Amino acid sequence: MSRYRELTRRGSQERRDNNSFSKVFDLVPNDRLIKKIAGTGLDLRVVVRVKEFLLGRSQRGRVYGQLSEEVRVTSGVKQGSALGLLVLLAYVNDICKNSESNIQLFADDFIIYRKIMHSCHIDKLQMDLNRLGERAVENEMKINPGKSKAVSFTKVTVKELIKYYFGDKLIPEASSFKYLGIIIRNDLNWADHVNYTLRKAWKALHFIMRILKREIII
């Protein structure tokens, strides 16, 4: 955060594009994932353990008490498991390859950002967005344009908004974004996050008070 404050004091601009992979926990192809992990040079025993974790799974559904036939699962990782998150990160980690902009990954969310000092930096950021889209296609993943936002951190008056795209989809401009549970505004003011946290706290407190009141009455 101190880096952003220094950046805005200097009068420069930083662009952040916040994005998310669509249903990545369900869509990751297991065979490609195993090849990627094996290609990292990990101990063969680790690769075998991951393979046992991913392969040989099946699932079926129940509707009105009737079970469907079992279907073999060939993609996705188990959500809620520590190993599932680790193998997912191993799969998406190389999406940053050949990118000149900074990229931060966390599970199925990622942020791409860079300092904008000249018009060439705008073009480079768009080129990196294009590369991300291409890498996602290569890895059989989808980027969810509905969850993408572009945010500018600057104190300079911007006459015309810079437009960025994922493919043919325009990334909407926003004044704030939520990342890892924290609401960050483009002016680095914490009012939105404080109000959001207070509302959550009051909601939890009201729920606890209702339970206590009910127990006292009983």
Phi, psi of 213 (to 5 degrees): -65, -40
Distance CA 78, CA 72 (A): 14
Q: In sequence order, what are the residues at sequence separation of 6 or more whose Cβ sits closer than 8 angstroms to the Cβ of residue 183?
A: 176, 177, 192, 193, 196
Distance CA 148, CA 140 (A): 19
Residue 202's pLDDT is what? Answer: 92
Residue 2's pLDDT is what? Answer: 53
Q: Other C-beta atoms within 10 Å of 21: how many?
A: 23
The pLDDT of residue 96 is above 60: yes
pTM: 0.70
The pLDDT of residue 43 is above 80: yes
Residue 11's pLDDT is what? Answer: 45
Residue 194's pLDDT is what? Answer: 93
Distance CA 216, CA 210 (A): 10
Token pair 């993408």 in the structure block, residue: 148
Distance CA 138, CA 134 (A): 6
The pLDDT of residue 75 is above 70: yes
The pLDDT of residue 1 is above 60: no
Residue 196's pLDDT is what? Answer: 92
Give the SS3 label for residue 85. Answer: helix
89-98, 121-130, 159-168: which is most confident = 121-130
- pLDDT-based confidence at 26, cuts 50/70/90? confident
- For the chain, the average pLDDT equals 79
**Least confidently predicted of 41-45, 142-146, 199-203:** 142-146
